[in-house]
Amino acid sequence: MLDELHEECGVIGIYNGDAVVRNITMGLYALQHRGQESAGFAISDGDKIRVRKSMGLVSTLLREHNIDEFDGFAGIGHVRYSTTGASTLANAQPILVSCKWGQIAVAHNGNITNANELRAEMEADGHIFQTTSDSEILLHEIARTQADDLGEAIKKAITKFTGSFCLVFISKDSMYVARDGFGFRPLSIARMGKAWCVASETCAFDLLGANYVRDIQPGEFLTITKNGLHSERFTQKDRLAHCIFEYIYFSRPDSKIFEQSCDKIRRKMGKQLAKECPVDADIVISVPDSATTAALGYAQASGIRFEIGLLRNHYVGRTFIDPTQNVREQKVKLKFNPIVGVLKNKRVCVVEDSIVRGTTLKILSKMLRDAGALEVHIRIASPPVAHPCFFGMDFPSQGELAASSMTPNEIAQMLGVESLGYLSVEGMKECTGEGENYCAACFDNDYPDYIGTDAQKTRCG
Amino acid sequence: MLDELHEECGVIGIYNGDAVVRNITMGLYALQHRGQESAGFAISDGDKIRVRKSMGLVSTLLREHNIDEFDGFAGIGHVRYSTTGASTLANAQPILVSCKWGQIAVAHNGNITNANELRAEMEADGHIFQTTSDSEILLHEIARTQADDLGEAIKKAITKFTGSFCLVFISKDSMYVARDGFGFRPLSIARMGKAWCVASETCAFDLLGANYVRDIQPGEFLTITKNGLHSERFTQKDRLAHCIFEYIYFSRPDSKIFEQSCDKIRRKMGKQLAKECPVDADIVISVPDSATTAALGYAQASGIRFEIGLLRNHYVGRTFIDPTQNVREQKVKLKFNPIVGVLKNKRVCVVEDSIVRGTTLKILSKMLRDAGALEVHIRIASPPVAHPCFFGMDFPSQGELAASSMTPNEIAQMLGVESLGYLSVEGMKECTGEGENYCAACFDNDYPDYIGTDAQKTRCG
Amino acid sequence: MLDELHEECGVIGIYNGDAVVRNITMGLYALQHRGQESAGFAISDGDKIRVRKSMGLVSTLLREHNIDEFDGFAGIGHVRYSTTGASTLANAQPILVSCKWGQIAVAHNGNITNANELRAEMEADGHIFQTTSDSEILLHEIARTQADDLGEAIKKAITKFTGSFCLVFISKDSMYVARDGFGFRPLSIARMGKAWCVASETCAFDLLGANYVRDIQPGEFLTITKNGLHSERFTQKDRLAHCIFEYIYFSRPDSKIFEQSCDKIRRKMGKQLAKECPVDADIVISVPDSATTAALGYAQASGIRFEIGLLRNHYVGRTFIDPTQNVREQKVKLKFNPIVGVLKNKRVCVVEDSIVRGTTLKILSKMLRDAGALEVHIRIASPPVAHPCFFGMDFPSQGELAASSMTPNEIAQMLGVESLGYLSVEGMKECTGEGENYCAACFDNDYPDYIGTDAQKTRCG
Amino acid sequence: MLDELHEECGVIGIYNGDAVVRNITMGLYALQHRGQESAGFAISDGDKIRVRKSMGLVSTLLREHNIDEFDGFAGIGHVRYSTTGASTLANAQPILVSCKWGQIAVAHNGNITNANELRAEMEADGHIFQTTSDSEILLHEIARTQADDLGEAIKKAITKFTGSFCLVFISKDSMYVARDGFGFRPLSIARMGKAWCVASETCAFDLLGANYVRDIQPGEFLTITKNGLHSERFTQKDRLAHCIFEYIYFSRPDSKIFEQSCDKIRRKMGKQLAKECPVDADIVISVPDSATTAALGYAQASGIRFEIGLLRNHYVGRTFIDPTQNVREQKVKLKFNPIVGVLKNKRVCVVEDSIVRGTTLKILSKMLRDAGALEVHIRIASPPVAHPCFFGMDFPSQGELAASSMTPNEIAQMLGVESLGYLSVEGMKECTGEGENYCAACFDNDYPDYIGTDAQKTRCG
Ligand SMILES: Nc1ncnc2c1ncn2[C@@H]1O[C@H](COP(=O)(O)OP(=O)(O)O)[C@@H](O)[C@H]1O
Ligand SMILES: Nc1ncnc2c1ncn2[C@@H]1O[C@H](COP(=O)(O)OP(=O)(O)O)[C@@H](O)[C@H]1O
Ligand SMILES: Nc1ncnc2c1ncn2[C@@H]1O[C@H](COP(=O)(O)OP(=O)(O)O)[C@@H](O)[C@H]1O
Ligand SMILES: Nc1ncnc2c1ncn2[C@@H]1O[C@H](COP(=O)(O)OP(=O)(O)O)[C@@H](O)[C@H]1O
Ligand code: SF4
Ligand code: SF4
Ligand code: SF4
Ligand code: SF4
Ligand SMILES: [Mg+2]
Ligand SMILES: [Mg+2]
Ligand SMILES: [Mg+2]
Ligand SMILES: [Mg+2]
Q: What is the mean pLDDT of chain B?
A: 93
The reply to whether C142 and C279 lie within a common domain is no
Q: Is the pLDDT of residue B5 over 60?
A: no
Checking ipTM against 0.85, whether it exceeds it is yes
Task: Report the residue among A111, A182, A243 best suited for mutation to probe ligand 5: largest number of ligand atoms under 8 A from its CB.
Answer: A243
The reply to whether C174 and C278 lie within a common domain is no
Looking at residues A392-410, what average pLDDT do you find?
91
The reply to whether A34 and A79 lie within a common domain is yes
pLDDT tens-digit series, residues C119-151: 999 999 999 999 989 999 999 999 999 999 999
Q: Which of D62, D67, D263 sits opposite B342 (nearest CB)?
A: D263
Range B79-90 burial, b when 16+ CB lie within 10 A, else e: bbbbeeeeeeeb
Q: Is the pLDDT of residue B3 over 70?
A: no
Q: Ligand 11 centroid vs C313 CA: distance in angstroms?
A: 13
Q: Which residues pair with C233 in a beta bridge?
A: C220
The reply to whether B36 and B122 lie within a common domain is yes
Question: What pLDDT score was predicted for residue C307?
Answer: 97
pLDDT tens-digit series, residues A197-235: 999 999 999 999 999 999 999 999 999 999 999 999 999
The reply to whether C227 and C271 lie within a common domain is no
CATH number at residue D428: 3.40.50.2020
Range A316-336 burial, b when 16+ CB lie within 10 A, else e: beeeebeeeeeeebbbbbbbb
pLDDT tens-digit series, residues A227-259: 999 999 999 999 999 999 999 999 999 999 999
Contact check, Cβ <8 Å, D300/B305: yes
3-state secondary structure chain D: CCCCCECCCEEEEEECCCCHHHHHHHHHHHHHHHCCCEEEEEEECCCCEEEEEEECCHHHHHHHCCHHHCCCCEEEEEEECCCCCCCCHHHCCCEEEEECCEEEEEEEEEEECCHHHHHHHHHHCCCCECCCCHHHHHHHHHHCCCCCCHHHHHHHHHCCCCEEEEEEEECCCCEEEEECCCCCCCCEEEEECCEEEEECCCHHHHHHCCEEEEECCCCEEEEEECCEEEEEECCCCCCCCEECHHHHHHCCCCCEECCEEHHHHHHHHHHHHHHHCCCCCCEEEECCCCCHHHHHHHHHHHCCEECCCEEECCCCCCCCCCCCCCHHHHHHHHHEEECHHHHCCCEEEEEECCCCCCHHHHHHHHHHHHCCCCEEEEEECCCCCCCCCCCCCECCCHHHCHHHHCCHHHHHHHHCCCEEEECCHHHHHHHHCCHHHEECHHHHCCCCCCCCCCCHHHCCC
Q: Which helix (H) or strand (E) holds B108?
A: strand B102-112
Q: Number of folded domains in chain D?
A: 2
Contact check, Cβ <8 Å, D59/B261: no
Contact list in C for residue D125 (CB cut-off 8 A) is 144
- Rounded to a whole number of angstroms, the distance from the CA of D96 to the nearest CA of chain B is 25
The reply to whether C41 and C83 lie within a common domain is yes
Three-state SS for A26?
helix
Q: Ligand 3 centroid vs A16 CA: distance in angstroms?
A: 39
- Greater confidence, B62 or A321? B62
Q: Which helix (H) or strand (E) holds B104?
A: strand B102-112
Q: Is the pLDDT of residue A1 over 80?
A: no
Ligand 8 atom at minimum distance from D438 CA: 7
State the catalytic residue, choosing from A9, A166, A349, A431.
Answer: A9
Contact check, Cβ <8 Å, C313/A63: no
Does the residue B390 lie in any domain? yes
Task: Report the residue among D109, D439, D449 best suited for mutation to probe ligand 8: largest number of ligand atoms under 8 A from its CB.
Answer: D439
Task: Report the residue among C28, C250, C252 best suited for mutation to probe ligand 3: largest number of ligand atoms under 8 A from its CB.
Answer: C252
- Give the number of C-alpha atoms closer than 13 A to the C-alpha of residue B71, restricted to the C-beta side: 1
The reply to whether B175 and B282 lie within a common domain is no
* Domain that includes residue C225, residue range: 10-238
- Main-chain dihedrals φ then ψ at residue B12, nearest 5 degrees: -150, 150
Give burial (CB, 10 Å; 0-12/13-18/19+) of D404: middle
Question: What pLDDT score was predicted for residue B319?
Answer: 46
Q: Is the pLDDT of residue B317 over 80?
A: no
Question: What pLDDT score was predicted for residue B269?
Answer: 98
Of residues A283, A273, A319, A325, the one with CA closest to residue A303: A283
Does the residue C244 lie in any domain? no
- Main-chain dihedrals φ then ψ at residue D125, nearest 5 degrees: -80, 0
B389 belongs to an annotated ligand binding site: yes
Contact list in A for residue B140 (CB cut-off 8 A) is 126-128
Q: How far apart are CA D375 and CA D365, in angstroms?
A: 10
Question: What pLDDT score was predicted for residue C404?
Answer: 94
Q: Which of C36, C263, C312 sits opposite A339 (nearest CB)?
A: C263
Contact list in D for residue B337 (CB cut-off 8 A) is 30, 203, 206-207, 252, 254
Ligand 4 atom at minimum distance from B288 CA: 1
Question: What pLDDT score was predicted for residue C452?
Answer: 81
Does the residue C245 lie in any domain? no
**Active site residue ranges of B:** 9
Question: What pLDDT score was predicted for residue C459?
Answer: 43
The reply to whether A92 and A186 lie within a common domain is yes
Contact list in D for residue B26 (CB cut-off 8 A) is 321, 330, 334
Contact check, Cβ <8 Å, B321/D289: no
**Closest residue, chain C, to D136 (C-alpha):** C128
- Residue whose Cα lies nearest atom 7 of ligand 8: it is D440
**Closest residue, chain A, to C59 (C-alpha):** A319
**Closest residue, chain B, to D292 (C-alpha):** B308
CB pairs A-B closer than 8 Å:
63
Q: Ligand 10 centroid vs B250 CA: distance in angstroms?
A: 10
State the catalytic residue, choosing from C9, C166, C431, C460.
Answer: C9
B312 lines ligand 4 (CB under 6 A): yes
Q: Which helix (H) or strand (E) holds A64?
A: helix A58-64
The reply to whether D177 and D302 lie within a common domain is no
Question: What pLDDT score was predicted for residue D395?
Answer: 82
Q: How far apart are CA B448 and CA D423, in angstroms?
A: 57
A290 lines ligand 1 (CB under 6 A): yes
Does the residue D454 lie in any domain? no
Does the residue C249 lie in any domain? no
C442 belongs to an annotated ligand binding site: yes
Min mean pLDDT across A68-82, A414-428, B18-32, C222-236 is at A68-82
Q: What is the mean pLDDT of chain D?
A: 93
The reply to whether D159 and D222 lie within a common domain is yes
- Give the number of C-alpha atoms closer than 13 A to the C-alpha of residue A292, restricted to the C-beta side: 22
Contact check, Cβ <8 Å, B97/A130: yes
Beta-sheet strand order (sheet of D188-192): D49-55, D38-44, D74-80, D10-15, D195-199, D188-192, D211-215
Looking at residues A117-132, what average pLDDT do you find?
95
Q: Which helix (H) or strand (E) holds A30?
A: helix A20-31
pLDDT tens-digit series, residues D158-178: 999 999 999 999 999 999 999
Looking at residues A268-296, what average pLDDT do you find?
98
Contact check, Cβ <8 Å, C127/D98: no
Q: Count Cβ atoms below 10 Å from residue C226 Cβ, excluding itself.
A: 11
The reply to whether D281 and D150 lie within a common domain is no
The reply to whether A192 and A287 lie within a common domain is no
Single-letter amino acid code for the residue at A323? P
Contact check, Cβ <8 Å, D127/C139: no
pLDDT tens-digit series, residues C148-173: 999 999 999 999 999 999 999 999 99
D389 belongs to an annotated ligand binding site: yes
Does the residue A256 lie in any domain? no
Ligand in nearest proximity to the CA of D381: 12
Ligand in nearest proximity to the CA of D262: 4
Given B238, B254, B275, the domain boundary residue is B238
Does the residue A453 lie in any domain? no
Question: What pLDDT score was predicted for residue C396?
Answer: 83
Chosen for mutation from C29, C54, C81, C283 (greatest number of chain A CBs closer than 10 Å) is C29
* Residues in binding site of A: 243, 389, 439, 442
Looking at residues A411-425, what average pLDDT do you find?
98
Q: Ligand 6 centroid vs D72 CA: distance in angstroms?
A: 50
Q: How far apart are CA B175 and CA B169, in angstroms?
A: 6
Q: How far apart are CA A173 and CA D436, in angstroms?
A: 80
| Residues of chain D with confidence (pLDDT) below 70 | 1-7, 82-87, 317-326, 454-461
Q: Which helix (H) or strand (E) holds A39?
A: strand A38-44
Chosen for mutation from C48, C118, C128 (greatest number of chain D CBs closer than 10 Å) is C128
Q: Is the pLDDT of residue A291 over 60?
A: yes
Contact list in A for residue C67 (CB cut-off 8 A) is 321
- Rounded to a whole number of angstroms, the distance from the CA of D362 to the nearest CA of chain C is 36
CATH number at residue D119: 3.60.20.10
Each residue's pLDDT tens digit in chain C (461 positions)? 444 555 579 999 999 999 999 999 999 999 999 999 999 999 999 999 999 999 999 999 998 999 989 999 999 999 998 543 355 788 899 999 999 999 999 999 999 999 999 999 999 999 999 998 999 999 999 999 999 999 999 999 999 999 999 999 999 999 999 999 999 999 999 999 999 999 999 999 999 999 999 999 999 999 999 999 999 999 999 999 999 999 999 999 999 999 999 999 999 999 999 999 999 999 999 999 999 999 999 999 999 999 999 999 998 864 444 444 467 888 899 999 999 999 999 999 999 999 999 999 999 999 999 999 999 999 999 999 999 999 998 888 888 999 999 999 999 999 999 999 999 999 999 999 999 999 999 999 999 998 887 544 444 44
Question: What pLDDT score was predicted for residue A328?
Answer: 81
Does the residue B103 lie in any domain? yes
Q: Which of A67, A252, A333 sits opposite C311 (nearest CB)?
A: A252
